[in-house]
Amino acid sequence: MKLNTLLRTLLITLAFSFILAGCSAGTENTTENNETTIVTSFYPMYIFTQNIVKDIPGIKLENMTEPQQGCLHDYQMVPADLKTLEKADIFVINGAGMEAFLDKVIKQRPSLKIVEASKNIELIKDPNGEKNAHVWVGVSGAIQEVKNIAEGLAESDAKNADAYRKNASEYVKQLGALKEKMNKELKEFKKKDVITFHEAFPYFAKEFGLNIVSVVEREPGTEPSAGELAGLINKIKSTNVKILFAEPQYSAKAAESIAKQTDAKVYMLDPVVTGEKNAPADRYIKTMEENLKVLVKAFKENQ
């Protein structure tokens, strides 16, 4: 009887030791992984957030979608996306209807903190009243989105609030200088009639005085029908528009076909929706500087 009691006592002691060891290991992992994970929905949000969180200890930044994904108009989430979001403390989105899958995210992670970059920004609407979500393509829109992201992160992660705001302020100054440079170089051109590839550029056009006469693809990735193409060609001929902007994210086949049948010339304008993985923090500014070179060349050749 005494032997049984002794054995039972030893077993209980060993079991208790394992429990304590398990708890101890869990505590160590929590300490080692005591970081704030911020996930962004797609490429431009990643670039903006990267500038806001730079050099802040304990911050891990991930982009949910592949950097070549482009706009998320009809994007369907895959299991890998949900797995990425499982680790997220904060989810940074563009908003304005860009992330059509957001309801699914909220259902899966109701307590996830969501930061909406386009919050309280006045949105441009098309003739049908549909809101245009491409706020970041205009530099002023990018500036406001950066401010909104910084404030959203500051509210969600108070201990780093000052650092977020400081980094955002520095980046906003860089964006402000970019905006001033672009305005200065583009204001000398009087004729700025253009055809754009899809509805990514209304904010950009409004900011820099471009007149978008028509759009090749109303729905990105959906080539115009023969009738739509014929109508667009007739419009270009009647309005004498010489500049047709294609985008590196999509096939330029339709644009090139239009150019062959008109006097228009195709140029590449990048709405900054795709790029390389782990893109450098200056990628938005660098891409816009390249866009400026393209615009200046196009307007000089077609005044």
Residue 206 has a pLDDT of 96
| pLDDT of residue 106 exceeding 60 | yes
- End-of-domain residue from the set 128, 152, 182: 182
Whether residues 142 and 154 fall in one domain: yes
Whether residues 60 and 93 fall in one domain: yes
% of the chain with per-residue pLDDT over 90: 66
- End-of-domain residue from the set 165, 182, 199: 182
Domain presence at residue 10: no
Residue 267 has a pLDDT of 95
Residue 216 has a pLDDT of 85
- End-of-domain residue from the set 140, 157, 182: 182
Residue-wise pLDDT tens digits, 201-248: 999 999 999 999 998 876 666 677 788 888 889 988 998 999 999 998
| pLDDT of residue 33 exceeding 90 | no
% of the chain with per-residue pLDDT over 70: 87
Could you identify the residue written with the tokens 């505590």? 27
Rounded average pLDDT over 54-69: 93
Rounded average pLDDT over 83-106: 94
Q: How many distinct structural domains can be found in the chain? A: 2
What does the alpha-carbon distance between residue 232 and residue 216 come to, in Å, rounded to a whole number?
Answer: 7
Domain presence at residue 31: no
Residue 123 has a pLDDT of 97
Whether residues 192 and 80 fall in one domain: no
| pLDDT of residue 15 exceeding 60 | no
Domain presence at residue 282: yes
Whether residues 165 and 53 fall in one domain: yes
Domain that holds residue 79: 36-182
Residue-wise pLDDT tens digits, 146-204: 999 999 999 999 999 999 999 999 999 999 999 999 999 999 999 999 999 888 999 99
Domain presence at residue 23: no
Residue 180 has a pLDDT of 98
CA distances in angstroms from 219 to 73, 198, 201, 222, listed in the order given: 9, 7, 13, 6
Rounded average pLDDT over 277-288: 94
Identify the CA nearest to 213 among candidates 193, 228, 191. Answer: 193
Whether residues 173 and 121 fall in one domain: yes
Whether residues 142 and 236 fall in one domain: no
Whether residues 50 and 171 fall in one domain: yes
Whether residues 188 and 177 fall in one domain: no
Q: Can you give the CATH number for the domain in which 160 is found?
A: 3.40.50.1980
Under the banding of pLDDT at 50, 70 and 90, the label for residue 13 is very low
Residue 20 has a pLDDT of 31
Residue 1 has a pLDDT of 43
Lowest mean pLDDT among 56-60, 69-73, 279-283: 69-73
Mean model confidence pLDDT for the chain = 87
Whether residues 156 and 173 fall in one domain: yes
Whether residues 72 and 199 fall in one domain: no
Whether residues 148 and 272 fall in one domain: no
Whether residues 225 and 297 fall in one domain: yes
Residue 254 has a pLDDT of 80
Neighbour count for residue 274 (Cβ, 10 Å): 21
CA distances in angstroms from 122 to 46, 119, 128, 205, 302, listed in the order given: 22, 9, 17, 15, 33
Residue 128 has a pLDDT of 85
Domain presence at residue 124: yes
